[in-house]
Amino acid sequence: MTIALHSELLDGAGFRHAFFTRQGGTSPVPWESLNFSTGTGDTLARVRENLARAALVLAVPPERIYFLSQVHGTDARVVTRAEDAALVRAEEGDIVLSRALGLACGVRMADCATVLLGDRASGAVAAIHGGWRGVVRGAVRAGVEALRSLTGSAAGGFVAAIGPHIEPCCFEVGPEVAASLAAASPLGAAAVVPPAVEGARPHVDLRAIVTAQLEACGVRAVDQVRGCTVCDAVRFHSYRRDGQVSGRMLAAIVPAG
């Protein structure tokens, strides 16, 4: 059983973090078993216990794991430990950042890309939710710029890790979505895999797009924590595979002292 995956780059830079899988929790089918959302029908008691288990991995109190009600946008929220996490979780936004010790900044996902970002100089961190709509709208750049504004550091001193999400093998999209993603990427059309058969739909490499966006923002140290959420039903929840009534995972990072 693997409750969480880790980035060697973030570990080496001193940032506690985790890309949690679906394993090691308390929720029954269809949320089995490590689920971090009540929005699809799971109980608050089970989600609280799952958060408590995540808190043990992150070495922070469960009431100091912060994430937002995600809307595939670019709004950022700075947290300081003074906030009630339950109230923060009701706020809309897709980027959480902090330089305060003893808390974790997180995002939830079930196919979307996530970026955990740390500043070597200050120890501050950011968690970025990167669904395709957010990627098109500029969530990655917004997260990098928010961390720069918080710390005054240059992005060249940041380290980043991109977690498991829907990979090109399963990220089949319509031509309009493919065109939007290609236009949002420094890679352009190179991020889109043309259909092999006439009439089929293209596939998109979201990981390559997010990586290129980070590099375009000046983030040179980018790690890849791989896994396709759709293909690997044993380790990952997937909205595309299982539908709305399914679990949601968590990725989180802790500021370094």
Residues facing 118 on adjacent strands: 125, 159
Q: What confidence score (pLDDT) does residue 19 get?
A: 98
Specify which residues 92 forms β-bridges with.
Answer: 69
| Count of all residues that appear for the chain in the document | 257
* Ramachandran category for residue 24: left, alpha or beta (phi over 0 → left; psi -120 to 50 → alpha): left
Cβ 83 vs Cβ 68: under 8 Å:
no
Domains of the chain with bracketed CATH: 4-253 (3.60.140.10)
pLDDT confidence of residue 200: 87
Tell the residue number behind the tokens 């999400």, with chain if given. 165
Asked if residues 27 and 46 have their Cβ atoms less than 8 Å apart, the reply is yes
Q: What is the tens place of the pLDDT at every residue in 197-249?
A: 777 899 999 999 999 999 999 999 999 999 999 999 999 999 999 999 999 99
Q: Along the chain (257 residues), what's the average pLDDT of each consecutive run of 10 residues?
A: 96 98 98 97 98 98 98 98 96 98 98 98 98 97 98 98 97 94 92 81 96 97 98 98 97 97
Q: Are 153 and 119 in contact (CB under 8 A)?
A: yes
DSSP state of 165: B
What's the chain's Rg over C-alpha atoms?
17
